[in-house]
Amino acid sequence: MSYGFNFRLFYDNIQPIITMEKRHRIFIAINLPEEIKKELAKYEGKWPEVPAKWIPKDNLHITLEFLGDLTDIEIGDACQIVNEIAKNHKPFTINLHKVLYGPLAKNPPKMIWVEGEKSEELTDLKNDLQKGLLEKVRFKPDEKLFSPHITLARILEWEFKKIDPEEIPEISEEIGLTFSAESIEVMESEMKKGGPRYTVLESHILGE
């Protein structure tokens, strides 16, 4: 019987650790102009009776595609694809028209969000991104019909359920905010002590 060091067993056990690559939580977004962020941030505190965690002003954005946890190589591929797609789309206008609970079919609601008007330009950009990214990046695309929105707050579900149905505040406010989408960004989300921190990895100007 041998009591020598079994290198093969040792290697088999540590190989997954050696080959494990660091991954980054990545999404593609349209970031908002500062003046739009300031206007939307004013809604925090408007409905204090609604148990919710409000999103910091600087984190407000429209998600176009959530890619999940990617390796550095996959991030490089995603950035290249987003750059090529951005060149083929011109800047366009986004109209924000309503603050309400969302998603509409959820009860209790999960969020308070700003609903944006659907447009051909935004839908085409979203579809081209999804199609192009799926060619090189492995992710699960959102198969629901795309509805542009900006999350303002996340509902604390268990606290919300304690509210008498007749006392649930109505949130349905028409707004009229408009801005020009000039670029799309490849973003990284990192969970920190105070909540997620978003970092722009690359910004790609539309039409250039």
- CATH number of 94's domain: 3.90.1140.10
C-alpha span between 70 and 22 (Å, rounded): 8
- Classify residue 90 by its DSSP letter: -
Question: Does 101 map to a domain?
Answer: yes
Question: Does 7 map to a domain?
Answer: no
pTM of the complete model:
0.86
Residue (of 63, 57, 62) closest to 179 by Cα position: 62
Name residue 32's amino acid: L
Helix (H, G, I), strand (E, B), or coil: what is residue 106? Answer: coil
Question: Does 116 map to a domain?
Answer: yes
C-alpha span between 33 and 23 (Å, rounded): 29
C-alpha span between 91 and 159 (Å, rounded): 41
- Classify residue 180 by its DSSP letter: E
Maximum mean pLDDT: which of 4-8, 126-130, 136-140, 188-192: 126-130
Q: With bands split at pLDDT 50, 70 and 90, how would you rate the model's confidence at 22?
A: confident
Both structure tokens of 68: 């999940």
Question: Does 65 map to a domain?
Answer: yes
Question: Does 15 map to a domain?
Answer: no
| pLDDT above 80 for 21 | no
C-alpha span between 202 and 21 (Å, rounded): 21
| pLDDT above 70 for 62 | yes
C-alpha span between 127 and 173 (Å, rounded): 29
| pLDDT above 90 for 3 | no
Question: Does 4 map to a domain?
Answer: no
Arithmetic mean of pLDDT over the chain: 89
Question: Does 3 map to a domain?
Answer: no
Question: Does 149 map to a domain?
Answer: yes
Q: Residue 34's domain spans which residues?
A: 20-205
Q: With bands split at pLDDT 50, 70 and 90, how would you rate the model's confidence at 2?
A: very low
134-184, pLDDT tens digit by residue?
A: 999 988 887 777 889 999 999 999 999 999 989 999 999 999 999 999 999
Name residue 42's amino acid: K
| Number of domains composing the chain | 1
Name residue 159's amino acid: E
Residue (of 205, 185, 202) closest to 28 by Cα position: 185
Phi/psi region, residue 54 (left: phi>0; alpha: psi -120 to 50; beta: rest), is beta
